[in-house]
Structures are given as structure tokens and as C-alpha cells.
Amino acid sequence: MHAPDGFLNLGTAVTTGAVSATAVGGALRHMRSTLSDKQVPLAGLAGAFIFAAQMVNFPVAAGTTGHLLGGALAAILLGPATGAVVVTVVVVVQALAFADGGLTALGYNVLNMAVVTAFGGYGVFVLLRRVLPDNASGVIAATGLAAGLSVALSAMAFSIEWLFGATAPVPFDTVFGAMVGVHVLIGVGEGVISALAVGAVLAARPDLVHGARDLSRAQTADRARIGMRGFAIGAVLVTLVVAAVVSQFAASAPDGLERVAQDQGLVAQAQDHALAGGPFADYATDGVRNQQASLAIAGGAGVAVTLLVGLGIGFAVRDRRSGRFTGARAPTASS
């Protein structure tokens, strides 16, 4: 989601710019204090890798493809500070030299795509490492979940920025639902690919995985074999659970956030929108009494519907996909 200029209002652009500059500045200082001048060429090559990784098109379903974002992957391979700096450089160069994302939108683009994915993704990774076993399987599983969730976190960050800096009165629920719903699915691919990529690095050069430095040689070699089909189905199940949990947040937290925004006069009075009468309006299911359960069902159904629509589109266009092997970055619909 390389947002263009003027997508969010001036205040949000300046505020997110200050937050991003502080976070990246801190990461830069940390980077300089921990390692020598060797860090610069290594980070540059890692940046080229992340840039190239965003060209890696992987199949999603029925021949449609997605591509990696790489924020969490960079943080797990290089450490959160270096990872955030590297992805920031990628985002800035994309804006400056490829006109991908607005120059005045760099504040929120860097925040959402570099800072939130790298630090947020790494935070989730560290938490998961505590509960998962101390071996290669544990690291790979933690990577998958953290990378997938980092994409959802990024979408959440964007929705919250929209709440404060919207340039059109689209209700928060709609933006949150659409952004997080779509990105939870993108997160499945991100998680699966990141996990397998880290697995491959662990097998070849375990010392290069920052997030697995505490593992001994024996622990690194200890990995369970599971089939790809099981892996993918597991990923989709995790997605449904995440959607169910996230929809709880969508229902409760925004009230607080909207309140804050309203108190500061930042949001015009919220009004019900055209779909208010729909079966999943306000992300609750009609006819289900228990509020939590109904929200969870609505969230899960949202993901299922998006998945099916995506599959349908995939089947519809599958024969038209071109098999060209160009190095050019194909424009992609999301992020």
C-alpha cells in the first residue's frame, strides 16, 4: 500500500512523519552502535534483496499471484533495527526513484510498511518464540505467524491513521473491515513464504538468522517435516482464527478511538452508511445473540467470502496470465 500524496490530511502526514523519523533515527543509532562499517554494504545488499523479494511472485490460488512485502522477514533475518532501516530505504527509494508512493506520504508509508511491520512483526516473533519449542521448527512457525500478523498490523495502522486523517467521510468500520480483511489474506501468503524462506536460510547459514541466534547447532538441525498442503491449510485455519479475534477489536476498540478522534474534533459526526442494513452490518451477525460469537462469525465469514471472490477472479483470469520473465516490477493491486 504505497499511498499517494494527499491521501491522508496534513496533520496525519506530519505526525506520522515525526513518528517514523524518530523510530528510524533510533534504529540507525542502534545499528551504528552495534556493528562496524561493515553494516552499510551488508544492509545495502539486504535492501537489494528485499527489493528483489518484492518482485517474487508466488501463487496464491488458481494461478493468481501475490508478492512479498518483507518487513517482518527483514526484521527476523537482520534484527528489528537493521530490518526497519533497510525496509525504510526500500520505501524511500521507491517513492523517490520509481514514483511509487507520494513524497509527502512518506511519513505514513514508512510507518506502515517499515516501522510497524519490522518492529511489530519482530515483537510478535519474540513473544511466539517464548511459547514455541526452542528449535528450527519453533523459529519457522514463529516466523510464519509473525510475518502474517505483521501484514494485518500494517493494515490496522493504516485504518487508525485513516480515522484521524481521513480525507473523505468513510466510516472507520468500512475501512478497517476492508483493509484488514484483505490484508489478513495477503498475510497468509506472506507468512507461508517468509517461514519457508527462513527455513531455507536456517538450513544453509543458521548464523545469518538474527532471530535464531540463541539456538545451538543441534537445535537448528531439529526440524519437523510437514507437507506443503498441511502447511497451507494450517495457514488458512490460523487466518480464520485471526479474523475472528481481530473482528473483536474492530467492534470494541474503534469506539474508544472514534471517541478520542471526536473529542478532538477530527472526525465529522459518524453516520451509518448505506450497507447498515446488510447481514454483517457493523460486523455482527443478525440472529446470533452472543456478541463475541457473532463478531467472530462475521469476521470469519468476511475472510471466507473474500477468499471465494479471489478464487473466482483467479479462475476467471487464469488463462490470460502471461508467462513473461521480465525483471520489471509488475504493478500490484495491494501494498
CB atoms within 10 A of CB 135: 19
Question: What is the footprint of other proteins within residues 148-167 (CB under 8 A)?
Answer: 166-167
The yes or no reply on residue 221 touching other proteins (CB under 8 A) is no
- Options 271, 287, 319, 320; binder of other proteins; rule CB under 8 A: 271
Q: Position of cell 537448528?
A: 220
Least separation in angstroms between residue 220's CB and other proteins is 14
* CB-nearer residue toward other proteins: 103 or 260: 103
- Binding characters for other proteins, 33-62, by CB under 8 A (x = yes): ----xx-xxxxxxxxxx-xxx-xx-xxxxx
Residues 169-208: x where in contact with other proteins by CB under 8 A, - otherwise, as a string: xxx--x-------------xx--xxxxxxxxxx-xxx--x
275 binds other proteins (CB under 8 A): yes
303 to 322: interface string for other proteins, x by CB under 8 A: ---------------x----
Binding-site member from 131, 217, 225, 228 for other proteins (CB under 8 A): 228
Q: Which of 168, 217, 265, 287 binds other proteins (CB under 8 A)?
A: 168
Q: Would you count residue 22 as binding other proteins (CB under 8 A)? A: no
Cβ distance to other proteins smaller for residue 91 or 296: 91
- Min dist CB 64 to other proteins, Å, is 9
**7 binds other proteins per the rule CB under 8 A:** yes
Total interface residues for other proteins by CB under 8 A: 101
* CA 77 to chain CA centroid, nearest Å: 16
Residues 248-267 that bind other proteins (CB under 8 A): none
Q: Tell whether the torsion through CA atoms of 6, 50, 111 and 247 is positive or negative.
A: positive
The CB-of-296 to other proteins minimum distance in angstroms stands at: 24
Euclidean distance between CA atoms 68 and 191, whole angstroms: 9
In the complex, the smallest distance separating the C-beta of residue 288 from other proteins, rounded to whole angstroms, is: 24
What is the distance between the alpha carbons of residues 37 and 104, in angstroms, rounded to a whole number?
31
Q: Of the candidates 133, 231, 258, 306, which one interacts with other proteins according to CB under 8 A?
A: 231
> Binders of other proteins among 75-134, rule CB under 8 A?
77, 85-86, 88-90, 92-93, 95-100, 102-105
Nearer to other proteins, 194 or 285 (CB): 194
Residue 70 to residue 147: CA distance in whole angstroms: 8
Residue 17 binds to other proteins (criterion: CB under 8 A): no
